[in-house]
Structure 1
Amino acid sequence: MSEWTDAIVGERMTVDNQFNERVAASRFSSQEWGLIMTATEFEIENADDPEAARVVADTSSLPAIMPELENLRSQMAGMGGAPGGDGAGDSGGSGGVVDSIKGALGLGGGGGSGGPSDEELEAAERLVQEYADELQAHLEEVGKWEQVRVAYQE
């Protein structure tokens, strides 16, 4: 099944470049986004139906890397800045170094584990699916969608 993704590497690079602005406007830094994308696989749902087929993100591995996102943020904060992920638009805690320290000590509010929140995971899942939607739209635009859909089935 990975052959279909190998065939669209160039298209993915184009979508990556176009999606950079969306990532910059999100709560995730480009480094965090890179980590999120390494834990994401793409599939084509309903590949046998040309009308219903769509690219979907398999985010089942995201929960495993979410603690690493927190580590990455802690490292960035220690270096004098935490691009993205400062929690500025989020409701709830103040975000930043204090929350990172509280989380490390098990004093963070919310999920009980002191780790990344369900909200954080949901935001990552939403952004990854937006990327998948953009990828499909791009493939349709350049006339490769049908070829990719059929290749996925093989």
Structure 2
Amino acid sequence: MDKFLIKGGKALRGSVAVSGAKNSALPVMAAALLTSDKVVVRNVPRVRDLVTMSKLLAFMDAKVTVAAVPASVYEIEAPRLNHAEAPYELVKTMRASILTLGPLMARAGVARVSLPGGCAIGARPVDLHLKALEQMGAEIATSHGYIEAKVHGNS
């Protein structure tokens, strides 16, 4: 099909509500780990990966507040992080766990993130994340299914 031909003669009027995108909301939620201030994320689509990400942030001791379930608005506060880790049990169903690696490194100086799980739609390497962190001075290693990263010189 090369084109659509629409006949009608009437002007279009009205509005369309555009829903949020999972692949936009997940990085924003992970980025909320960068600050101790409250972050409000609106127009969040109601999909399982966003619930999983909120559980992961809560595991790290961020306070995740929603007004409804399923939620379209998330309030995230991370005044401190008690776990700089994304364990396999929490992230085995989504690939977005890698998005927490950079924010954890920035806040804690170290991070331990399970190799991403998710669906089997083919190879989707995370090497760009790792290369970027290395270029900023991080030491990266993989061990027992985890990516371990630390700021150069931190133990």
Task: Flag whether TM exceeds 0.5 (same fold).
Answer: no
Counting helix residues as a fraction of each chain, which structure ranks higher? Answer: 1
TM-score of the pair, normalised by structure 2: 0.24
Counting strand residues as a fraction of each chain, which structure ranks higher? Answer: 2
Q: Which has the larger radius of gyration?
A: 2
